[in-house]
Amino acid sequence: MRRRLTALAVSAASLTLGLGAAATPAQAVPADKAQVLSNWTQTDAGSYNAWVSANNNQGAWSAYQFNWSTDYCSTSPDNPLGFPFKTACARHDFGYRNYKEAGTFNANKARVDSAFYEDLKRVCARYSGATKTTCNGTAWTYYQAVDKLGYTGVADDGTAA
């Protein structure tokens, strides 16, 4: 009889633990997600470099559930006239997608667009003379496109405004 009670108690405890594990909610997103997102979407080179490092090691940031998807420069060339704008476009997509998901897109759009322009100008700083002038002009055109057309009319909840 004692063995039966012990076995029953062990079974009941196992069932309780099993149900408890099944009822446990998914791991919560770290409380500093908004701060990390903000740190990675500033206009300075340090912010850009920190984002590039994180983008190259996305698995280390999986708990944050960031949206890393990108279409790079959308329908514009990723490397117009040979200028490598692809990474700047990816970081811009990261900002847009994650602020939209956070419901704070409108409050952050101007800064994300400005960070994009600064990223493009950093690409252009590698050149000199007429090539640099051409790159800067292309960067300005890309910036104007996202400033004027990037997700126009989108409410913070992602619906049309």
State the CATH number of the domain containing residue 145.
1.20.90.10
CA–CA dist 54, 42 (Å, integer): 14
Q: Is residue 12 part of a domain?
A: no
pLDDT score at 9 = 42
Lowest mean pLDDT among 15-19, 48-52, 141-145: 15-19
Is 47 among the domain residues?
yes
24-38, 84-98, 134-148: which range is least confident on average? 24-38
84 as an active site residue: the answer is no
- For the entire predicted model, the pTM comes to 0.80
Give residue 129's domain range. 30-149
Q: Is residue 158 part of a domain?
A: no
Strand partners, 47: none
Does the pLDDT of residue 23 top 90, yes or no?
A: no
Note whether residue 109 is domain-resident: yes
The encoded tokens of residue 113 equal 């667009």
Q: Is residue 25 part of a domain?
A: no
**Average pLDDT of the residues of the chain:** 86
Catalytic residue among 42, 47, 91, 92: 92
pLDDT at 4 over 50: no
State how many domains the chain has.
Answer: 1
15 occurs within a structural domain: no
